[in-house]
Structure 1
Amino acid sequence: MAEQLYYHVDGDLVPASEATVSVDDRGFRYGDAAFETLRAYGGTIFAWDAHCERLERTCEALSLEHGLTAADLRGRIDETLVANDLADAYVRLSITRGVQPGKLTPQPDVDPTVVVYTNPLPRGGLAGESVWDDPATVETVTTRRVPDEAIPAVAKTHNYLNGILARAELSAGADEALMCDLEGYIAEGATSNLWFVRDGELYTPTIDGPVLPGITRKIVLALARDAGIAVHEGSYEPADVHGAAEAFLTNRTWELRPIATLDGHAIGGGPVTERLSRRYDERVERTCYQ
């Protein structure tokens, strides 16, 4: 890794200590921006095409026509990794609507602000190690997930106040906040998707509700079905998970993280979680390191 980190800001590599955006930028003023969290394994961005597609869905939901190509964005990411001498890393790509007149209504002419920043992570894959030290302590919170009719769940934006309020409810030492929808059914964690196992079968909240369609979630669904594990996507209450045989969370950085406890109920991982984690590591190893 380089002695100091460099970020990619509007086409230029700058030291992290000098990386700035305007206070008039709509991403700062209103959270009017799209982003993706990615992982580089061995210098390769895992599931890049899926991230690109989701980024475009977010921009469409925001009516943000940034005019940048996938190749341009990928080039900026690769330049950032090289500048920081990083092969295994956390990467965040953000596109804001840029600076516009101080009105809430977005203007059609966009000069986007594009920022890429990165931080080192351990090697992944079969020879890798987890970024988390222990299984997660999870608590169901009273903050409800914003309805899809208010802010589309497909839109991964800078406006993370919903998740911040959920995390603010957590007890000291808890790792993740589990949010329900307005009807009381589990939606997702503040930054993760939820899974649980009963009788050897896998369950996860449906994305028909206010649930971000996580890319890691989609990969795990495919891995489970390829392994012959029955998968159910539906509506579940926290009580359905309290007595589960296994439970885990997924996101791009954590990959698959077992849940130690949910609301004080001991759960933990198990054979299904371990099997899927192994298959995920095999996928990473095959596509990024070999």
Structure 2
Amino acid sequence: MTERQYHVDGDLVPASEATVHVSDRGFKYGDAAFETVRVYGGTLFRWDAHLDRLADTCEILSLDHGLSRANLRSRVAAVLDANDLADASIRLSITRGPDTGGIVPSEEIDPTVVVTCRPLPRGGRESESTWDGPATLQTVKTRRPPDRALPSKAKTHNYLNGVLAGLELRVTGADEALILDMDGSVAEGTTSNCFFVDDRALHTPSLEGPVLPGVTRDVVLDLAQSEGLPVRTGRYTPDDFRSADEVFLTSSTREIRPVGTVDGIDVDGGPVTPLLSRLYDALVERECYAVESADESGSTGDSETGDDPSSSQ
């Protein structure tokens, strides 16, 4: 089997040789931004939305990496081409780079840029699921820190909060954690946004709380509204999820995953989750598989490698 190729600081290298310096701040302190992007048929799904969130994270971190969107896209395209991948998950990471000083970063940075990948099944109407059956959701004791402690809008390498929540799942064997904020309201999962359906509407925790603004979350909300489904965001308790008619999770790689149980309580299911899944598949099919030529939506099949002054950081 051919070894995968990753992109590290401007060069394609075998996965076994893809390393960062021991003094890199992304390794030492989690001082780094990243995005995980789903690739369908060679098209980077919602690429602009991911780059917008990456830019927001870097702004929160005061991480001025100086790289254009076109530059980052060319690195991602190189990884897909080198690994002959059309359907995959791409992870793009930007750290503040090596720094031999203390916890306070130097003003001058030399960013480390890493692009890794893993193959995934085809998406769209002919898709194969990336998950095995409905998820089991478990409320955990680990809480999501408030924004003033760790900004939830920043998608950084610091995932210790999710790691601790995930370790709690070993007791019950659940698939995903239901993480609450400091006031006891549901925030999100370890790597997902959470939704539930009752007889009134489709609900998801508001971004006014410590909730990462998920790209797939936004897509699902748009699809629901386009179908005329009532949508509400707010503050919810675990009981709201336990007593719901339907519960599902969203993420870039798993798309829309139904939930079978919440804290051991069966969720019967209903028509909304399958409907949104079909609409999501149709959207992916239309935008990523039914195009005949490259466009500006994120297709990696073009030759754009130059800098884009309008998107410089």
Please tell me the TM-score bracket, short chain as reference: over 0.9
Task: Tell me the amino acid that sits aligned with residue 222 of structure 1.
Answer: D
Output the CA distance in 2 between the equivalents of 1:172 and 1:140.
11
The equivalent of 1:26 in structure 2 is: 25
| Segment of structure 1 superposing worse, 232-241 or 2-11 | 2-11
User: Residue 25 of structure 1 contacts residue 99 of structure 1 at CA under 8 Å; is this kept in 2?
Assistant: yes
Output the CA distance in 1 between the equivalents of 2:168 and 2:249.
19
The equivalent of 1:245 in structure 2 is: 245
Q: How does 1:47-126 map to 2 (within 5 A)?
A: 47-126=46-125
Output the CA distance in 2 between the equivalents of 1:95 and 1:268.
42
User: Residue 167 of structure 1 contacts residue 176 of structure 1 at CA under 8 Å; is this kept in 2?
Assistant: yes
Output the CA distance in 2 between the equivalents of 1:109 and 1:279.
46
- Classify the secondary structure of the residue corresponding to 2:54: helix
Shift of 1:149: 1.1
Q: Say how many residue pairs are matched.
A: 289
The equivalent of 2:135 in structure 1 is: 136
Is 1:258 aligned to residue 285 of structure 2? no
User: Residue 195 of structure 1 contacts residue 203 of structure 1 at CA under 8 Å; is this kept in 2?
Assistant: yes
The equivalent of 1:197 in structure 2 is: 197
Output one character per residue of 1:32-82: Cα deviation in whole Å (capped at 9) or x when no partner.
Answer: 000001110001100000000000000000000000000000000010000
Q: Which one scores higher on RCO, CA 8 angstroms, separation ≥ 6?
A: 2
Q: How does 1:211-230 map to 2 (within 5 A)?
A: 211-230=211-230
Q: Which runs of 5+ in 2 are unaligned?
A: 291-313
| Segment of structure 1 superposing worse, 191-200 or 155-164 | 191-200
Output the CA distance in 2 between the equivalents of 1:6 and 1:270.
43
Is 1:281 aligned to residue 297 of structure 2? no
The equivalent of 2:41 in structure 1 is: 42
Task: Tell me the amino acid that sits aligned with residue 36 of structure 1.
Answer: E
Q: How large is the Cα RMSD of the aligned pairs?
A: 0.9
Q: Which runs of 5+ in 1 are unaligned?
A: none
- Classify the secondary structure of the residue corresponding to 1:126: helix
Output one character per residue of 1:133-161: Cα deviation in whole Å (capped at 9) or x when no partner.
Answer: 11101100000001111111110000000
Output the CA distance in 2 between the equivalents of 1:218 and 1:248.
14
Output the CA distance in 2 between the equivalents of 1:191 and 1:270.
24
Output the CA distance in 1 between the equivalents of 2:111 and 2:268.
44
- Classify the secondary structure of the residue corresponding to 1:142: strand
TM-score by length of 1: 0.98
Shift of 1:269: 3.5
Output the CA distance in 2 between the equivalents of 1:76 and 1:247.
37
- Classify the secondary structure of the residue corresponding to 1:281: helix
User: Residue 258 of structure 1 contacts residue 268 of structure 1 at CA under 8 Å; is this kept in 2?
Assistant: no
The equivalent of 2:235 in structure 1 is: 235
Output the CA distance in 2 between the equivalents of 1:268 and 1:248.
12
In the TM superposition, structure 1's runs of 4+ consecutive aligned residues that sit over 2 Å from their partners are: none
Shift of 1:172: 4.7
- Classify the secondary structure of the residue corresponding to 1:141: strand
